[in-house]
Amino acid sequence: MLIYIIKRIFLAVLIVCVAMLLLLSAIHLVPGDPAGVALGPRATPEMREAFRVRMGLDQPFIIQYVKFLANVVTGDLGVDVWSNKPVSSIIGAQVPHTLRLTLLGLGWAVIVGIPLGCWSSIRPNSWIDRIVGLISVSAIAVPSFIIAVYSLLLFTVTLRWFPAIGAGDKGDPWDQFMHLVLPSFAIGLGWVGYLARLVRASMLETMGENHIRMARAYGLPTAKITYVYALKLAILPTVALLGVGVGGLLSGAVFAEIVFARPGIGKLVYDAVMTRNYPIVMGGVLVTTILYAASTLISDLITAALDPRVRENL
């Protein structure tokens, strides 16, 4: 098990490094000039040159990359172009907001999606199953930012049930929660659909297996068969997918933060794109990529820990 964990962590780190290498080389290869883009058309050649030196863009590509990695390891993500504050502390301040939003979105998906999937797998092809199926497909298909805009229109502008913008009063957890409800719902809805479909499919597969027939032949209560014997096994692929879900939710969070004017990495990076604040954008992409890699890592490890066939053999 320990070797597996180490291997898996190593793989996650490798993926993040290669991903950043790809991003940096893409930036290096495209015809655009980061300095020109960042400083705008009115910048003089001297200003651009100074910018390149300051950002380390004048050095060979490999040196840039190695330096970048070395800085990342020490927690140094460079400085903000405009305010000269360290990028790591600017981003660090926003991480909890995004994390809270993403995890609550994931919470919706788990709390609503898994029971829905179970429920529709109990009577496959019944009208309940068909309706749940239709809702799931629709929830997956409709873009999350539309859900965000429409829920803002309906629940905030028209009905005034929920507060409009921001993250809520700092000292008031209830106010903060009310500010989280709509955005987390908007980004989580698609994953409600995904999880419902996934749980349904793997429950149906499990219910057809021999050991479930055996549990039935022993007259075990139906509820015990469904929610213990089958679900314990059928939940494994779902848990494995939750990490990937976090990636989707992080993308959704960008929109939710912008639509609901919430603080967070998404809003920060978006504003940085608008002001061509290159270090903030790179730092934001790096941090979200690390968050994503960490969540897939965690969900893989949880899956391995939950499955005795994997756990006991490692």
Partner 1 sequence: MEAKKSFSDSSDFRRESRFSNLVQLVKNPLGLIGLIIVIAIVSSAICADWIAPYDYKAFDIKARLSGPTWDHLLGTDNLGRDTLSRSLYGGRVALSVALISVSLSLVIGLFLGMLAGYGPRRLDSLLVLIFDSIRAFPTIMFALAVITIVGPSLNTVIAVVVITTVPGYARIARTQTLALKHTEFILAERSLGAKPIRVMFSHIVPNVIAPLLILASMDIPVVITIEAGLSFLGLGVKPPTASWGSILNLGYSFIRDTPWMVIAGGVPLILTTLGFTFLGEALRDVFDPKLKKD
Partner 2 sequence: MSNFNNVPVIDISNLSVDFQTQRGDVRALRNVDLTIPHNKTVGVVGESGCGKSTLINSILRLLASNASITSGSIRFLDTNILEMTDPELNDLRGQKISMVFQDPMTALNPVITVGKQMTDILFRDSHSRNAKREKARDMLQMVGIPDAEDRMNDYPHQFSGGMRQRICIAMALMMNPALLIADEPTTALDVTLEAQVIHLLQELKNSFQCSILFVSHNLGLIAELCDEVVVMYAGEVVEQGGVFDLFHSPAHPYTQRLLECDPARIEKSTDELPTISGRVPDLIELPPGCIFSPRCVSKFEPCSTQPPPEFVVNEHHKVRCFLSQNG
- Distances in Å between the Cα of 183 and the Cα atoms of 35, 127, 222, 239 are 35, 31, 38, 23
Q: How far is the CB of 253 from partner 1 (least distance, A)?
A: 9
Q: How far is the CB of 171 from partner 1 (least distance, A)?
A: 28
Q: How far is the CB of 296 from partner 2 (least distance, A)?
A: 22
Exposure class string for 265-297: b at 16+ Cβ within 10 A, else e: bbbbbbebeeebbbbbbbbbebbbbbbbbebbb
Is the CB of 96 or the CB of 221 nearer to partner 2?
221
Q: Hey, what amino acid is at 244? A: V
Q: How far apart are CA 245 and CA 190, in angstroms?
A: 10
- The binding site for partner 2 (CB under 8 A) comprises 209-221, 224, 228-229, 232-233, 236, 306-309, 312-313
**Residue 175 touches which of partner 1, partner 2, none (Cβ within 5-8 Å per kind):** none
Q: How far is the CB of 172 from partner 1 (least distance, A)?
A: 25
- Distances in Å between the Cα of 211 and the Cα atoms of 203, 204, 239, 264, 295 are 13, 13, 22, 47, 32
Helix axes 114-122, 231-259, angle to 10 degrees: 140
Q: Which of 1, 6, 111, 146 binds partner 1 (CB under 8 A)?
A: 146
Tokens of 210: 């021999």
Phi, psi (rounded to 5 degrees) for 114: -65, -50
- Of residues 16-55, which lie at the interface with partner 1 (CB under 8 A)? 16, 18-19, 21-23, 26-27, 30, 32, 34, 37
Tokens of 92: 């660090």
Based on the shown chain and the rule CB under 8 A, indicate whether residue 157 belongs to the binding site for partner 1.
yes
User: What residues contact 36, with CB distance under 8 A and at least 6 apart?
Assistant: 43, 48
**Residue 232 touches which of partner 1, partner 2, none (Cβ within 5-8 Å per kind):** partner 2
For tokens 């049930």, name the residue.
161
Q: Which of 186, 240, 250, 297 binds partner 1 (CB under 8 A)?
A: 250
Is the CB of 67 or the CB of 211 nearer to partner 2?
211
Site of interaction with partner 1 (CB under 8 A): 14-16, 18-19, 21-23, 26-27, 30, 32, 34, 37, 134, 137-138, 140-143, 145-146, 149-150, 152-153, 157-158, 197, 200-201, 204-205, 247-248, 250-251, 254-255, 258-259, 266, 269-270, 272-274, 276, 278, 281-282, 284-285, 288-289, 292-293
